[in-house]
Amino acid sequence: MQSDAEKRSRIDRECWVIGDPESRRVQDFQRSAIGLGMRVPNCLDWNDLIASEGRCLEQIPPLARVRIDSFGQRCETIASLIELGGGDVFPKRGQVLSLDHQYQGIVRAMEMVECWRCRRLESKHDVIIDQVPGDLAVMFDKWATHQLMLPYRPKTVLLPTEIDAAGQAIQSFADCCGGRVFVKPRYASSASGVCCYRTQRGRQQLIAAIEIDRCGDDIRLFNSLRVRSFTNPADIDAILRVLIPQGMIAEAAVSKARLDGERFDLRIVVIDGKADHLVVRQSPWPITNLHLGNRRGDLELLYDSVGIDRVNDCRQLAIHAAAQFPRTRYSGVDILLPRVNPPLVCEVNAFGDFLPNLTASGKTVYASILQIDAGAFV
């Protein structure tokens, strides 16, 4: 039986975030802690983590709580991840390039954190990490996640990394999925490189938040805040030529339910097995990420139009999905709600908890994370 004092000390334990100290994510997290009367979490910069090959983790004192947050969008961080992953081509800001090497870099960095944690465990100077580093590595691999989430996933295939073979694979997959598929980078987060592809009567359409930058024969892709529809076969070919070698999956498109005339899906943050925080992501486009100018839908309207039971089914599925990573205490699960069939898992996002101003029973996501039952640790 723990005494109150012991519990208290655990709530008061030092908290560290591995993240981008300049980012709104880390700053909001720190502010939330202050708002709750907790100590300000320290930030350990991903740049330092990579540069020191994990040695800088030693500054984290015993018993500290560690949260792994996003490495952010800084070019130098991305470049050092790619380098760590054995790559030597580095993207400009916002460019979609070397996702495979970047992923290898993330895996290497997660290994550093995991090694450090094991060493600490042996030396009895143990720390508490909110997420299992290996779980995050799985979440960043959409193909691995897909297999873990079966049977609650749309039909999906892994595409070859050779362009002609991939082109044929997409075509035949599209043919057996009613003409519409998502082509998604195997290793990426948010909407980066996600394409909705359809073919009908010899016409092609590719919808993506992508901008093509042509300089002679050199074609570069950039993430854009604007979802766009491409129908020129040359543009579509150019996009796929850049993406395919970086590793892609093709996923059958699901005919999503509509809310107020628009399609939507759900982002549900599961924290310690509770799926309280739910956002309706509503968009006229098939790509619903909120940073693309799409809007948060109305929760009341959601209950009214699809019914409380179906929403609860979604929450249960999100909990089930998060439970596939039992020692990772929270993640952001994207749930697809088809018009007629039961819900499906779209993605499990390692860093899918940045939803400012979203509250459930008066608590923001970060407040809930910060107040995870201390007694449940260790």
Partner 1 sequence: MDRRELVFMDSTSNKFWRIELNGDSHTVTFGRAGTDGQSKTKTFADADAAKKDYDKLISAKLKKGYVDADSASAATGEDADALPVLAFRSILKEDDVGHNAKTFIGKRIADYDPNKKPTAGGKTVYRFRSDWDSQDCVPNLKHFLETDAAREAVGIVIGNWTGDDTGTDPSEVIELLCQNSKRLAALKAIYLGDIISEECEMSWIQQSDIGPLLKAFPNLELLRTRGGENLKIGHLKHDNLRGLICESGGLRAEVVRQIGRSKFPALEHLELWLGTDEYGGDSSVEDLQPILSGDLFPQLKYLGLRNCDFVDDIAAVIVNSPLIQRIETLDLSLGVLTDEGGRALLSLPTDGTLQHVNLHFNYMTNDVIKELKKLPLKMDLSKPSHMDQDDEWRFVAVGE
Query: Residues interacting with partner 1, by CB under 8 A?
Result: 178-180, 198, 200-201, 203, 205, 207, 226-227, 229, 231, 255, 258, 260-263, 284-286, 339
Identify the CA nearest to 74 among candidates 53, 60, 57, 94: 94
Q: How far is the CB of 207 from partner 1 (least distance, A)?
A: 7
Q: How far is the CB of 363 from partner 1 (least distance, A)?
A: 28
Q: How far is the CB of 179 from partner 1 (least distance, A)?
A: 6
Q: Count CA atoms within 13 Å of residue 197 on its CB side.
A: 29
CB nearer partner 1, residue 168 or residue 255: 255
Phi, psi of 129, deg, nearest 5 = -110, 130
Show the CA angle centred on residue 288, arms to residues 284 and 294, nearest 5°.
Answer: 70
Phi, psi of 228, deg, nearest 5 = -135, 155
CB nearer partner 1, residue 22 or residue 260: 260
Beta-ladder partners of 229:
207
CB nearer partner 1, residue 79 or residue 254: 254
CB nearer partner 1, residue 226 or residue 327: 226
CB nearer partner 1, residue 262 or residue 298: 262
CB nearer partner 1, residue 174 or residue 365: 174
Q: How far is the CB of 97 from partner 1 (least distance, A)?
A: 22
Q: How far is the CB of 244 from partner 1 (least distance, A)?
A: 24
Distance CA 78, CA 11 (A): 34
Identify the CA nearest to 194 among candidates 235, 160, 240: 240
Q: How far is the CB of 340 from partner 1 (least distance, A)?
A: 9
Phi, psi of 198, deg, nearest 5 = -140, 155
Q: How far is the CB of 347 from partner 1 (least distance, A)?
A: 20
Q: How far is the CB of 286 from partner 1 (least distance, A)?
A: 6
Rama region for 216: left / alpha / beta (φ>0; ψ in -120 to 50; rest) = left
Q: Please, which contacts does 359-366 make with residues 24 or more away whose CB atoms are closer than 8 Å? A: 359/277, 360/276, 360/277, 360/278, 361/276, 363/276, 364/32, 365/269, 365/271, 365/277, 366/28, 366/29, 366/32
CB nearer partner 1, residue 142 or residue 180: 180
Identify the CA nearest to 330 among candidates 340, 341, 321: 321
Distance CA 317, CA 352 (A): 16
Q: How far is the CB of 258 from partner 1 (least distance, A)?
A: 7
CB nearer partner 1, residue 108 or residue 198: 198
CB nearer partner 1, residue 252 or residue 333: 252
Beta-ladder partners of 251:
156, 182
Cα separation of the two ends of the chain: 14
